[in-house]
Structure 1
């Protein structure tokens, strides 16, 4: 696990329904084991097909005018698939991102690479059960938001709900989680899968 390639990703969308809403931005950071690979990042704004959207602007700050000249998804997604190829994908609450990405790939006739997905929120729950070092507030809710983990690991985000910034701070969380997983006997990808974390 300490030498495996990871792509830590985040997406911003027009909403949370992958059957209707669309991707607005993709951000990703490359890691090899716990090391963030400087200079190997991905960030693109995406122009959605539907004209009438904007309610989600209060979350991520992306306005229709900001993406008016951005490339459409059919130009961005193949580039993103190539960036992610051959790596394990990591994100916080990554199942939402996964549904959007795989759905968009399917609609475009793209083959999304078969890979493992790791959710730092699920890892946090596992670590709380086995390690007990994370904030009780998250444990009491049965889940951890990214802010809980940033506070627990004393990580100051440069921005929030910006795809690249969120990918970067999630990479910092994953760095720390890798160390804690190793201390708990999770040394290989097989261990990670047996623990139900990938």
Structure 2
């Protein structure tokens, strides 16, 4: 490598380092947000949730709309919807919904699937602010999602990226209850499960609408598994195949 090439190479490297440093500084989270999230994780009581009767649990049923399936490859959360369930009642007047800032171009597939538009996402709050509001909303309640692997991956990735905090909340998957209550069925998609249970499918792939449908599904299958003699999460997990049991 010649001298001029070496100088050019060093300038390129320096530029990349400076760009990376500036990006890191720009994306650094509010210290108060970081402190709040870390304190919330410390206060969680996982043990109590395992032994409390299912129909007495306070849960937050939630859903994410995202740009794809792989947060580690750059896919992002576009919206968060959630609704609370307390003692078998879906508290529709205590719901949560927010869009999340996204400044890139959406694919036509995502636009058609979710109904979201680039203009509204460009004016939405930043992810760190939305997550803090969502965490304040859910507090220490158990989280519930349908096929929760998707939501779990995104919220764990986002919590670490935005706050350098590991996400400790318990997330219960409604598909576990469905598998235990009706093992002969091969229901996968949320709309399939809702149609099977007589739940109206409305505004599919809108985060809040999906959360509301999942909440109704949760109540139905809590009742079904309790009739099988499974009263707590601990008993539900003990009856799941080893491969499905939460770690």
TM-score, with length taken from structure 2:
0.71
Alignment of 1:28-177 (within 5 A): 28-48=82-102, 50-55=103-108, 56-109=110-163, 111=165, 113-129=167-183, 136=185, 139=186, 143-177=187-221
Which residue is equivalent to 2:28? Answer: none
Give the root-mean-square deviation of aligned CA atoms.
1.7
Which residue is equivalent to 2:228? Answer: 184
Change in 2 beyond 3 A, CA 1:92/1:112: same
1:2 aligns with 2:55: yes
Aligned residues: 187
- Measured in 2, the distance between the counterparts of 1:3 and 1:150 equals 23
Higher helix residue share: 2
Answer yes or no: is the 8 Å Cα contact 1:5–1:87 preserved in 2.
yes
Answer yes or no: is the 8 Å Cα contact 1:47–1:67 preserved in 2.
yes
Structure 2, unpaired ranges of 5+: 1-53
Answer yes or no: is the 8 Å Cα contact 2:191–2:201 preserved in 1.
no
Superimposed CA distance per residue, residues 31-87 of structure 1 (whole angstroms, 9 cap, x where no aligned partner): 113211242110000112x52333411211111112121111011011111222211
Superimposed CA distance per residue, residues 86-125 of structure 1 (whole angstroms, 9 cap, x where no aligned partner): 1111111111011111101100115355232111123212
User: Structure 1 residues 162-171 or 116-125, which shifts more?
Assistant: 116-125
Superimposed CA distance per residue, residues 12-42 of structure 1 (whole angstroms, 9 cap, x where no aligned partner): 0111111211000000000113211242110
Other structure's SS at 2:124 match: coil
Change in 2 beyond 3 A, CA 1:36/1:4: same
Other structure's SS at 2:55 match: coil
Answer yes or no: is the 8 Å Cα contact 1:5–1:86 preserved in 2.
no
- Measured in 2, the distance between the counterparts of 1:121 and 1:155 equals 16
Query: Of residues 59, 71, 79 in structure 2, which corresponds to 1:18?
Result: 71
Other structure's SS at 2:59 match: strand
- Measured in 2, the distance between the counterparts of 1:103 and 1:128 equals 32
Answer yes or no: is the 8 Å Cα contact 2:143–2:169 preserved in 1.
yes
Superimposed CA distance per residue, residues 134-176 of structure 1 (whole angstroms, 9 cap, x where no aligned partner): xx4xx2xxx5211111111111123110000000010010010
Other structure's SS at 1:7 match: strand
- Measured in 2, the distance between the counterparts of 1:33 and 1:192 equals 18
Change in 2 beyond 3 A, CA 1:90/1:66: same
